[in-house]
Amino acid sequence: MYIYSIYVTVPDFTEIGGFDWNFDNVHKLLKRHRVTTAECEQAFFNEPFIVYDDPEHSIKEDRYYSLGVTNEYRHLTIIFTMRGRKIRPLSARPMTKSEVKYYEDIKKGS
């Protein structure tokens, strides 16, 4: 028998002090993916909000990817980092079909 341990570090959202937006990214979100800052922020507060660390892209700083929904139930994948006590969204896009299925399966199980 093999035991494989995964150590995942995700941010503590209990002490969040808001969002830190890079306005170049805001333009990119709207132009490429038609995602607004309000939609991104909503996804962080609607349940379930699923967060994973992203070690492959965490060279200079810890990055995370997340799955969540807006108030209008739009499924989003959001890539973000933390800057002090603030969430800094780096990218956001609609979830792929497989991500939606995964998200909904987790939601049913919670």
Kind and range of the H or E run holding 80 = strand 75-83
* pLDDT recorded at residue 68: 96
The confidence band for 7, taking pLDDT boundaries of 50, 70 and 90, is very low
Kindly state the average pLDDT of the residues 9-20.
75
In this prediction, what percent of the chain has a pLDDT beyond 70?
85
Gyration radius from the chain CA atoms: 14
The confidence band for 17, taking pLDDT boundaries of 50, 70 and 90, is confident
The confidence band for 1, taking pLDDT boundaries of 50, 70 and 90, is very low
Task: Enumerate residues 6+ apart whose C-beta is below 8 A from 23.
Answer: none
Phi, psi values for residue 29, rounded to 5°: -60, -45
